Structure 1
Amino acid sequence: MTAETPTPAEPSSLLKLALELGPLVVFFGVFRYGRELLEIPALHDAMAAATGPAALATESGPLFIATAAFMIAIAVSLAASWSMTRRLPRMAVVTGVVVAVFGGLTLWLQDETFIKMKPTIVNGLFAIALGIGLVQGRSYIKYLMGEAMPMDDRGWMIFTRRWAIFFTFMAVLNEIVWRSQSTEFWVSFKTFGNLPLTMGFMALQLPLLRRHMIEDTVR
C-alpha cells in the first residue's frame, strides 16, 4: 500500500499578488537605481559580459540591467509558484516565455525596443487567443476561471469578448506610450499604470458577473 502524495496547500491571495507583482517591482527598482548598481564591480562585469561595456555606458544602461533583473525575477516567481502548487498558471508561463525571448534579444542586440514591445506582444497574444476561441464559440477564460465564477454561457462569452477588447487596448496603449514617451515614463507606466487600469476594468465587470451568475442550488 503506497502513501498518497499530499496536495500542496494553496498559497494565500497576498502571496499570489507578491509573486505576480514582485518582478515588476524589481524591474522598476533596478531601473531607478541602475547607475548606482552598475558601480558594483562584480555586477558591472557580469552585465558587460552580456551586453558589452559600451552598451552600459549609454542612456539604455539602466534599462539593460533592469531587463536582466526582470528575467531573473520572473524565473524565481515561476519556480516559487511551482514549488508551492506543483502547477503554473498558463498566462504566467506565456508571459515568462515572452520575457525570456524579448529580454534576451534586448541584451544580445543591445536594443531596448524588444523589452518595450514585450507588453504589446503578451497582450496581443492573449487577445488573439481569446478571439480565436470566440470565433469557435468557446470561452477560454471559462476554462481558467469557471470553477471560481459560475456563470451562464452567455455571460462567459460577453466576459471573454470584453477581455479580448481590453487586451487589444492595452497592446495599443503600450505601443503609443513607448513610441511617444521617454524610457523613464514608460517604465513608470509599466509598473504603476497597468495594474490600476486592469483593476478598474475588472471592477466595471461586476454588474455583468452579478447578472449572469448561476446560483448554487446544491445544499
Structure 2
Amino acid sequence: MTDTPEKPISAGLKSALELGPLLLFFAGYMLLKDREFTIGAETYSGFIVITAAFIPLLVASTLILWRLSGKLSPMQILTLVLVIGMGGLSVWLNDERFFKMKPTILYVFFGAVLGFGLTRGESYLRVVMEGLMPLQHEGWLILTRRFMAFFFALAVANELIWRNFSTELWVNFKIFGLTIAMFAFFLSQNRLFSAYAAEDENGV
C-alpha cells in the first residue's frame, strides 16, 4: 500500500477522510457517554458501543483514501491494524482498556523503529518525510532523535492519562491533545528546519 505512486487528491477531502472518523468518534462518545446498552445478556457502555462503530468507519475511510490517493503511510496502516485489533478486543471482551492502550503501542512502536535506525546511523524518518522537508543528513538525525523522544513522551502521557483520569478526559486527550501536541512539536522545530535545510542543485 505504500509503494504505489500517490495520486492527486484535494487537501480538503484528504483531511476529511483522515480526521472525519476521529471527530465522529468524539461526537458519538459525547452523545452516548452516559448511556448503557444491553445486547443479548451483556451490558455495554456508550464508549464500547461507539468504539464498535468507529472500527468499520475507520476501515472504510482508510480504504477510500487508499483508493483515491493510491498510497497509505506506515502510520496509517499501523493505526488501522491497531484499531481493528485493540478496538476489537475492547468490544469482544467488553473492556475499554484495550482501546485506550492503542496510542501507547503505536507511539512506542514508532519510537523504537526510529531508535533502531539511529543505532545504524540512519534516519528512517527521512524515508517517509524527505519529500516534505529536504534536510541535510545531520538535520535528519537530529530530527529523528527528537521525534523518537517525542513518541516515547506521548506513550507515557497516554498511559498516565488513561490509567489515572476519566474516560472523558482521555477521549479529549486522544482527539485534541495529541493533535495539538503534534502541531506544537512541528512548530518547535522551525530553527532546525532553517539551520539544516538542504541546498538544491543550484546551491540555493
Q: Highest CA radius of gyration, 1 or 2?
A: 1
Answer yes or no: is 1:24 the counterpart of 2:8: no
Q: Is the 8 A contact 1:30 1:65 kept in 2?
A: no
Q: Which amino acid aligns with 2:141?
A: M
TM-score by length of 1: 0.84
- What CA distance in whole angstroms lies between the structure 2 residues aligned with 1:149 and 1:8? 17
Distance 1:35 1:193, change over 3 A: closer
Q: Which amino acid aligns with 2:77?
A: V
Answer yes or no: is 1:153 the counterpart of 2:151: no
Distance 1:35 1:160, change over 3 A: closer
Which segments of 5 or more consecutive residues in structure 2 lack a partner in the other structure? none
CA offsets per residue over residues 135-159 of structure 1, 9 Å max, x none? 1111111000112211110000001
- What CA distance in whole angstroms lies between the structure 1 residues aligned with 2:170 and 2:34? 20
Identity %: 39
TM-score by length of 2: 0.90
Distance 1:35 1:215, change over 3 A: closer
Q: Which amino acid aligns with 1:22?
A: G
Q: Which amino acid aligns with 1:105?
A: L
Q: Is the 8 A contact 1:127 1:164 kept in 2?
A: yes
Q: What are the within-5 Å matches in structure 2 for residues 52-91 of structure 1?
A: 52-56=40-44, 61-91=45-75
Q: Which amino acid aligns with 2:196?
A: H
Q: Aligned pair count?
A: 199
Cα RMSD between the aligned structures?
2.1
2:8 is aligned, of 10, 16, 38, to 10
CA offsets per residue over residues 163-185 of structure 1, 9 Å max, x none? 00000000000000011101111
- What CA distance in whole angstroms lies between the structure 2 residues aligned with 1:23 and 1:136? 37
- What CA distance in whole angstroms lies between the structure 2 residues aligned with 1:163 and 1:123? 10
Q: Is the 8 A contact 1:26 1:73 kept in 2?
A: no
Q: Which amino acid aligns with 2:26?
A: F
Partner of 1:114: 98
Which segments of 5 or more consecutive residues in structure 1 lack a partner in the other structure? 1-6, 39-43
Q: Is the 8 A contact 1:102 1:118 kept in 2?
A: yes
Q: Is the 8 A contact 2:108 2:151 kept in 1?
A: yes
| TM-aligned CA deviation for residue 36 of structure 1 | 8.8
- What CA distance in whole angstroms lies between the structure 2 residues aligned with 1:35 and 1:163? 34
